[in-house]
């Protein structure tokens, strides 16, 4: 069996709660806490380099001017996912750096790693690997 097939088989057997916890993002030392929200997931920004330097940092790049005064700390970045075949799909991720929301999918790789894929539209997607924070 190829490594790719083994990874897909492992993901298919993953528990829906495998992604629950605190995760370090690839950029700006972000920490996102992912929790269950009913049948879906929510992910809230706990800290980042910017928040560490200025805890009052606001969502200044939001496309909606009415939202630009909200704090980044505690801001919900992830939501709207459904779990199927080991993957959380059909959700969205908000990127505070550009103020845009993207379609997203979260795939557990192992107990301490997940892949988050954000897409403007397929095939214009970007993957990030997040690691569990203990």
Whole-angstrom Cα distance, residue 102 to residue 18? 22
Bridge-partner residues for 7, per DSSP?
none
Q: What are the two backbone dihedrals, phi and then psi, of residue 53, each rounded to the nearest 5 degrees? A: -75, -35
Bridge-partner residues for 22, per DSSP?
33
Q: Indicate the average pLDDT of the chain.
A: 91
* Residue reference for tokens 């990127």: 95
Nearest of 87, 88, 54 to residue 72 by alpha carbon: 54
pTM, to two decimals: 0.87
Contacts of 133 (CB under 8 A, 6+ apart): 21, 22, 23, 24, 31
Q: Summarize the confidence of residues 48-77 as an average pLDDT.
A: 97
pLDDT of residue 132: 98
Answer for the pair 78, 93: CB distance below 8 angstroms, yes or no. yes
Answer for the pair 70, 58: CB distance below 8 angstroms, yes or no. yes
Answer for the pair 54, 75: CB distance below 8 angstroms, yes or no. no
- How would residue 50 be classed by pLDDT, with cut points 50, 70 and 90? very high
Q: pLDDT tens digit string along 86-102?
A: 999 999 999 999 999 99
Whole-angstrom Cα distance, residue 3 to residue 10? 10
Asked if the model's pLDDT at residue 31 lies above 50, the reply is yes
DSSP state of 67: G
Give the lowest-confidence range in 16-20, 32-36, 42-46, 120-124: 120-124
């Amino acid at each position: 069996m190829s490594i790719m097939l083994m990874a897909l088989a492992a993901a298919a057997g993953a528990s829906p709660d495998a992604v629950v916890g605190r995760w370090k993002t690839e950029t700006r030392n972000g920490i996102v806490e992912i929790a269950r929200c009913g049948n879906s997931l929510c992910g809230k920004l706990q800290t980042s380099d910017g928040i560490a330097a200025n805890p009052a940092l606001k969502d200044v790049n939001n496309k909606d001017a009415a939202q630009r005064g909200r704090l980044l700390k505690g801001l919900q970045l992830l939501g709207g996912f459904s779990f199927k075949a080991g993957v959380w799909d059909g959700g969205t991720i908000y990127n505070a750096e550009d103020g845009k929301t993207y379609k997203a999918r979260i795939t557990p790789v192992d107990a301490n790693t997940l892949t988050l894929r954000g897409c403007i539209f397929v095939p214009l997607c970007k993957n990030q690997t997040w690691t569990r924070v203990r």
